[in-house]
Amino acid sequence: MLIYLVVSLVAAAWLVPLVVVVLNSLRSNEEIAQTSMIGWPQHWAFGNYLTAWSDFCVAQTCAGIRPYMLNSALVTIPATIFSTLLGAVAGYAVSLWRFRGDQWIYGIVTLGIFLPQQMRLLPWTFVLRDTGLMNTLTGLVLIHTIQGLSFTVLFCRNYYVAIPQELIRAARIDGAGFFRIFWRIILPLSPPILVVTVIWQFTHIWNEFLYGVTFTTGQQQPVTAALIALSAAVADIPHHGVQSAAVMIAALPTLLIYLIGGKYFVRGLTAGAVK
């Protein structure tokens, strides 16, 4: 029984930040200003979500966080798809289709997991400037696709290594080539690892902040950067109810994915850890 008590207490403590934001997102700004950020709503202020979504002012523009959510989606979805597909093909190539230099290049690619973002900030700045992609969503898609490969290639390669070689050998004897084997044999076996990879990439790109704040400004920013801009604005005039609603909206996509695909999310975490 003691075990249940301890575990429940810790779990409750872990839930406090979430509960506090959810409750605050349903309290009026005035109510929060009169009491504290921690409290039960006296009047349910569902309107906060509407205001946060489409009316609230972030850095001189009063369109709520909708445009920034859209930016995040327009960066996250393509970058997740591209990096996952390219990673699956490359992972298949280095695990089952040995070629000269494959282990070397695979080793270098996975080093990207460790290389701090700070080492790439200036080069990306120059590359984006020279290609005219500075302050564009395309630029962020490019960055996240290329950098995401380090993870997606690792995930897929480690998964494909376990596929029996006989399967590939037999297909080759039947005359199947690189793409045919990928399409007919590898891809049908891949859903579990593709789900892990997609969830991992989506979560990381959606939550990314440093590149978003460095390479985009104003209306082009992803929602994480917009939240920081919003905090700065709120410091002058407190709107904590609306701000809580904005924070909830920004967190919702990854939270929902976690709720639905938690098992795969955890698998990605541990796969990334045990390299």
Partner 1 sequence: MTDTVATAPRTGRPTTAALAGRLPEYLTIWVPLLLSAAHLVSFSLWTIWISFTPSTLIPVSGWVGLRHYTAVIASRNWNIAFDNLLLFGSTFVLLSLVTGLVLAILLDQRIRGENVLRSIFLYPLAVSFVVTGTVWSWLLNPGLGIQKLVHDLGWTSFRFDWLVDRDMAIWTIVVAAIWQSSGFAMALFLAGLRSVDADLIKAAQIDGAGPVRMYRRVILPTLWPITITVMVIQLQFAISTFDLVRALTNGGPGLATQLPALVVYDLMFQRGLLGRGAAAAVLMLLILLAVLLPYAAWRYLQRRRSAHA
Point out which residues pair with 58 in neighbouring strands.
61
- Dihedral pair phi/psi, residue 205, rounded to 5°: -70, -40
The binder of partner 1 chosen from 49, 56, 264, 265 (CB under 8 A): 265
Size of the site for partner 1 (CB under 8 A): 90
CB closer to partner 1 out of 153 and 198: 153
Q: What is the chain's percent helix, strand, coil content, to nearest 5? A: 75, 0, 25
Asked if 255 interacts with partner 1 (CB under 8 A), we say yes
CA distance 128 to 209: 17
CA distance 81 to 113: 19
Asked if 9 interacts with partner 1 (CB under 8 A), we say no
The residue assigned the tokens 């709120």 is: 234
CB closer to partner 1 out of 79 and 90: 90
Which window, 41-49, 56-64, 183-191, 225-233, contacts partner 1 (CB under 8 A)? 225-233
Asked if 46 interacts with partner 1 (CB under 8 A), we say no
DSSP 48: H
Q: Min. distance of Cβ 81 from partner 1 in angstroms?
A: 13
Asked if 10 interacts with partner 1 (CB under 8 A), we say yes
For 121, the enclosing helix (H) or strand (E) is helix 118-130
> In degrees, to the nearest 5, what angle opens at C-alpha 33 toward C-alphas 31 and 39?
55
Site for partner 1 in 79-138 (CB under 8 A): 86-87, 89-90, 93-99, 103, 105-106, 108-109, 111-112, 114-124, 126
For 90, the enclosing helix (H) or strand (E) is helix 66-96
Q: Min. distance of Cβ 54 from partner 1 in angstroms?
A: 20
CB closer to partner 1 out of 57 and 146: 146
Which window, 47-55, 60-68, 148-156, 189-197, contacts partner 1 (CB under 8 A)? 148-156
Q: Min. distance of Cβ 103 from partner 1 in angstroms?
A: 8
Site for partner 1 in 55-84 (CB under 8 A): none
| Nearby residues of 139 by Cβ (< 8 Å), 6 or more positions away | 128, 131, 133, 215, 216
Asked if 189 interacts with partner 1 (CB under 8 A), we say no
The binder of partner 1 chosen from 36, 42, 54, 217 (CB under 8 A): 36
- Dihedral pair phi/psi, residue 25, rounded to 5°: -70, -10
Nearest partner of 206 among 24, 94, 80, 97, judged by Cα: 80
